[in-house]
Amino acid sequence: MAQVTIIVGSMYGNAENLALKVQETMQSQGVTSTVLMNATIDDVTKADNLLFITSTTGQGDLPDNIQPVFSQMQAQFPMLTGKKVGVIGLGDTSYGDTYCGAGKQLYALIEELNAALPVPMLEVDACEYFDPWEVAEAWLTTWVTKLR
Ligand SMILES: Cc1cc2nc3c(=O)[nH]c(=O)nc-3n(C[C@H](O)[C@H](O)[C@H](O)COP(=O)(O)O)c2cc1C
């Protein structure tokens, strides 16, 4: 059975709520997962598969709870070769150039770390979707098929 470590970056709970919905849905598809609100580099290196779900705050910045693991990944550069990774970025196009900046920073770093990214990052625009699940459900279905 596939195992996924879900690493969440969230300021006000939207990304966290989405992560819990993702976990519940994957469970019903036979994929077990752990949701981490304060992940560390060890969680990243030990994971079989990784799913990052993060909002963007400030001006294209990572939420406070995911910044530490991002900084550790930048500093220690752990190769993620062989791990399947997905990124869901929550943002708002009304922020212009910094739209989904946190997810984009993560995705770029993960590419550099040589992870398998079988599905491009999902960008969820709060202007378009009141509930991120509306668009995340289909993306997740595709991503989960790539774990097998
Ligand atoms: C203070 C603040 C700054 C934000 N800055 C950005 C930004 O730079 N780019 C972006 O795409 N979205 C930005 N957003 C929108 C959030 O990413 C979006 O509302 C998201 O759904 C919040 O999820 P969360 O509750 O998990 O933090 C910002 C929201 C707030 C409240």
pLDDT tens, position by position, 68-107: 999 999 999 999 999 999 999 999 999 999 999 999 999 9
At 1, list the tokens: 């059975």
- DSSP one-letter code for 82: T
CATH class name, domain 3-147: alpha beta
Q: Hey, where are the domains in the chain?
A: 3-147
Q: What is d(CA 65, CA 25) in angstroms, rounded to the nearest whole number?
A: 24
pLDDT at 148: 81
Residue bearing tokens 């997962």: 33
- Mean pLDDT lowest among 55-59, 128-132, 144-148: 144-148
120, pLDDT greater than 90: yes
Centre of ligand 1 to C-alpha 29, Å, is 30
Q: Are 80 and 43 in contact (CB under 8 A)?
A: no
Q: Hey, whose CA ends up nearest to atom 4 of ligand 1?
A: 57
What is the pTM (predicted TM-score) of this model?
A: 0.98
**HSE, side-chain direction, 13 A CA sphere, residue 146:** 19
The answer to whether 136 touches 88, Cβ cutoff 8 Å, is yes
Confidence of residue 18 (pLDDT cuts 50, 70, 90): very high
Alpha carbon of 57 to ligand 1 centroid (Å)? 5
Query: Is pLDDT at 1 greater than 90 in this prediction?
Result: no
How buried is 30 (Cβ within 10 angstroms: 0-12 exposed, 13-18 middle, 19+ buried)? exposed
Q: Say what the pLDDT of residue 73 is.
A: 98
